[in-house]
Chain A
Amino acid sequence: MKRRVVWIIFSCLMVVAMVLASCAPAPVAEEEGKTVVGEVTEKEGAAVEEEEEEEVFTEVKEGPQYGGTLTLLSGWAVEPDKWDPIEYSSAQESAFTGYYLENLLTGDLSKGARGTNEYWFNDTYWVPDQYITGQLAESWEFTDPLTLRFHLRPGIYWPDKPGVMSSREMISADVVFSFKRLIEAKATLGTRYEWMESVSAPDKYTVDLKLSKFSADWLYRMMARGTHIIPPELVQAGVADVKKQVGTGPFMLVDYVKGSALTYDRNPNYWGKTTIGDKEYSLPFIDRLIVPFIAEPSTQLAALRTGKADILGGVEWQFRESLKATNPELKEYVTLAGGAGLVCMREDIPPFNDIRVRKAMNMAVDRKAFIDSQFGGEAVLLSWPFSAAWPKDLFTPLEDYPASTQENFAYNPEKAKQLLTEAGYPNGFKIGLIYSSIAPATADVCSMLASHWADIGVEVELKPMEQGAFVGVSYGKKYTDMIYYGGSNSSPFSILRNAGEPGDFYNLTMFNYPDWYAKFTQAKGEREYAGQNKLLKELNAEVVSTADYVICPTRYVYRYAQPWVNNYYGETNSASFNLSQVMAATVWLDIGLKAQK
């Protein structure tokens, strides 16, 4: 009797568990209003291969085909948190909203590998001004020094979204509404958009944005998350609600399983078109885009090997050989990582207040051994503050620097010891190196650096800290040790501000040169690209020359695509962490090839 009771309880628990697991948040999908080319089944990811997908294809042999589900692992290990564009989000920029919300401007992919190959759309937030084109806007100009006029593209429609809005054309009133919201929300977004003063719409397709002052990086800000254009209906229905999201973009958000994946479906009435060969095609090609959140590299790779992921980004060099061996059919794309490891040395207190000591620390690092051990022999020596992928009117390659700066990047322990002796440290000194333990590779890098410095007599004590504590320490600015952190390239103005503005959160070296800052202020006010870029280039070079940092080499990162993914050129983004245009223009080969996997 008692055993039966126990069994009954057990079975009930089992049933309860399964019921609970299946009652996990119901999918947001609505099927109405979605023009489906053929039958796309409900089952996610893994099960796709076995399905009888009665897709209707235009051309089977040559040319692009419509249909299919693409599973994208972008390599950015974040999950969405906020859906309202003007609310600050810790997720990367437009990584999730960009698929359905659009901006006035975006990056011009035809200037990348897809077209003229002038720019490597690599892993940074920023796109250089000359590679920006209109998205919702067709053209723009300054009608007077502080008024920016945008001419909107006609014929763009908001899709039907039951419970939110019915389809209608996107007009200037929407832009005015979005920007007004942004301007009034200065409080939550801090000082990023403080240069926008007011906005008005002279007619249905024209928007006038009045600036309170000229901000030189306004183009970049126009592509960012805060300036997504949203309809008033969305705000009325609840803009923070993931189930209500709607936009003019190539995809529509249909499902969000927290911690697991996002699902987007094709927007059948998207305005975007592309020309392949001599035919014009409506975008996007794929029917469904799935974006899972997987943090563990082994899991990501397993998904790629077994065909569950169609595109995988952020793959490190260690896995290249093995992938080539097990999956030689994969297409590989190389991209330069966005950022570099930085050892920050405080130049306001000893011992690093003497530039000779900073130079010595730089010369003691055997960069070749570093690259061989950490990056498999392939890296770029200098790619910070400005990225080596940025155009030459901004970025100064190492060989163009004066000899006194170039020697910092060469391995010369004898000279390093000599400089130390000159500076008054004939027997070296002791110092700590603080770093965050959140990334396992950091410990290896710091160990290696410490062993190099030990060779010139500098005894470095490694001080790992938990991430949150690390942030607190860097924020407090009371440390006396060196700090290591992974710097990113962000955008020219942001990164220079981080490196050179006194009091900035990231100014960990206490860089403080009034002349430099005056030039920086001047650059921020420069209206012409040529003048601006010239100043920025100089400012960047000056930061490098102070040797305030030991700038570690920048590695390459690899992306892989399955052989049936066509018209993909390995771009990492087309705007600030925004892959939507890339995905919209990416095409399937026939499902047959994919189904064989």
Chain B
Amino acid sequence: MNALDRQKLKEMRNYIIRRLLLVIPTLLIASLIVFFMVRLIPGDIIAQMLQERESTNLEVDRVMIERSLGLDVPVYVQYFRWMGGIILHGDLGKSLWEGTPVAEDIAAKLPVTFELGLFSLIIGLLISLPVGIFSAVRQDTIGDYIARSFAILCIAVPSFWLGIMVMVFPSIWWGWSPPITLVRFAEDPAGNLVQFVVPAVILGMSLAGVTMRMTRSMMLEVLRQDYVRTAWSKGLKERTVVVQHAMKNALIPVVTIIGLQLPILVGGTVIIEKIFALPGIGRLMLDAIVQRDYTIVSGLMLVIASFVLLCNIAVDLTYGFLDPRVQYK
């Protein structure tokens, strides 16, 4: 490892440290946003609980519930207690409705969303990259039009509508439907993959639409560069020009897009999870919001936010691998 590499590594290390430090204020702001926004939602949880319990003495019961849930202190005290719990004990608090630790709920459901998101991303990439590159290289030909139409169709057809169609019609025509309970990978790898592949394809298609077009336009731009023209004039084969010279540089903004889609790993999948009965955190979030389970919503949002911020750092680091010109300033 020569001196240049060593220096680059040192730069990278400093960059990572700096970014991680910057994450802290962002997370703090995010935690504030999350905490207070959720509590601003009208209609409080106590009223819902009282309604469910058929209380005959609303006032007494309200005071009692508030105390047991820790909601009897002012909001900023609740905030500090919550942040204190996280920083000092790593404790995200307990669900207001169930009393189980929030971390447990999240740990139980996050892997499902993660697996679904990962499959969707991969399928999306498998579709979008080749089609986008093809579309750019064969610009304005029939192939390009078809590919672009396909890309936009992927975005235009709502994923929830497609999901319902996929759930309903195969059951009528072929007597097939996806499994209705979670098939764990450890127990049945093939069944697990089948269960996830169907919703992943649906989600992947809508992701693919966006990535396809970005790939295409980036490739188009790169293909106009002087050095590409030089490669052409050298008489190189098309494949060499495209793959070796053009693709790598075109992919940098594509990495940006992928980076923007990474949050799906932790929660862009509410509707699909609902339709395919997958116990992921999308549904957890939806239910928690409706029931005003403040601790779950806050804890979950914070986990998601941390993950996204870390992903951003990872994506930025990837730039460094792809583009030697990038400096870690």
Contacts and interface: CB of A to CB of B under 8 A. Distances in A.
Contacts of A303: 177, 180
B41 interface: yes
A584 B147 CA distance: 57
A10 B189 CA distance: 19
Determine which residue in B54, B68, B114, B167 has the highest number of CB atoms from chain A within 10 A of its CB, and name it.
B54
Interface in A103-145: none
B233 interface: no
B115 A258 contact: no
Interface stretch (B1-9, B151-159, B224-232, B273-281): B273-281
A487 B61 CA distance: 23
B274 A296 contact: yes
Contact of B47 (A308, A475, A504): A475
A69 to B, nearest CB: 11
Nearest to B110: A20
A564 to B, nearest CB: 16
Determine which residue in A13, A22, A290, A299 has the highest number of CB atoms from chain B within 10 A of its CB, and name it.
A299
Contacts of B57: 190-191
Nearest to B179: A46
A25 B109 CA distance: 9
Contacts of B167: 296, 298-299, 302
Contact of B171 (A18, A90, A188, A305): A305
A87 to B, nearest CB: 8
A190 B45 CA distance: 17
Contact of A308 (B110, B118, B179): B179
Contacts of A307: 175
Contacts of A506: 51
B180 A326 contact: no
Nearest to A294: B277
B186 A23 contact: yes
Q: Which of the four size classes fits the interface of chain B?
A: 35 or more
A306 B277 contact: no
A21 B114 contact: yes
Interface in A159-201: 187-192
Interface string A62-100: 000000000100000000011000011010000000000
Interface string A320-345: 00100010000000000000000000
Interface string B159-192: 0000010011011100111111111111111011
Contacts of B47: 471-472, 475
Contacts of A13: 118
A470 B177 CA distance: 36
A40 interface: no
Interface string B254-289: 000000000000000000001111111001100000
A259 B175 contact: no
Contacts of A17: 111, 114-115, 118
A472 B43 contact: yes
B43 to A, nearest CB: 3
Contacts of A490: 54
A392 interface: no
B43 A505 contact: no
A305 B109 contact: no
Contacts of A87: 99
B192 A21 contact: yes
Nearest to A291: B181
A13 B176 CA distance: 31
A305 B167 CA distance: 11
A494 interface: yes
A530 interface: no
B97 A81 contact: yes
B98 A6 contact: no
A154 to B, nearest CB: 35
Interface stretch (A280-288, A461-469, A574-582): A461-469
A468 B186 contact: no
A187 B43 contact: no
Contacts of B182: 24, 257, 259-261
B32 interface: no
B34 interface: no
Contacts of B58: 503, 505
A278 interface: no
Given A23-B186, A302-B171, A466 B181 contact: no
B20 interface: no
Interface in A499-519: 501, 503-506
Interface in B63-114: 64, 68, 95, 97-99, 105, 108-112, 114
B181 A261 contact: yes
A211 interface: no
A46 B292 CA distance: 34
Contacts of B97: 81, 90
B108 to A, nearest CB: 5
B140 interface: no
A22 B181 contact: no
B276 to A, nearest CB: 7
Nearest to B108: A258
Contacts of A32: none
A46 B186 contact: no
Contacts of B61: 190
Interface string B276-319: 11111001100000111000000000000000000000000010
Enumerate the 5 nearest inter-chain pairs by beta-carbon distance, A residue then B residue, closest first: A259-B279, A468-B43, A22-B186, A472-B43, A22-B185
Given A190-B56, A293-B277, 16 more contacts: A18-B192, A21-B185, A24-B108, A81-B95, A82-B98, A90-B97, A259-B182, A260-B278, A298-B168, A299-B277, A303-B177, A467-B43, A468-B42, A468-B48, A471-B47, A504-B56
Interface of B: 41-45, 47-58, 61, 64, 68, 95, 97-99, 105, 108-112, 114-115, 118, 122, 164, 167-168, 170-172, 175-189, 191-192, 274-280, 283-284, 290-292, 318, 321-322
Interface of A: 2, 5-6, 10, 13-14, 17-25, 42-47, 71, 81-82, 87-88, 90, 187-192, 240, 257-261, 290, 292-296, 298-299, 301-303, 305-309, 322, 326, 438, 466-475, 490, 494, 497-498, 501, 503-506, 597
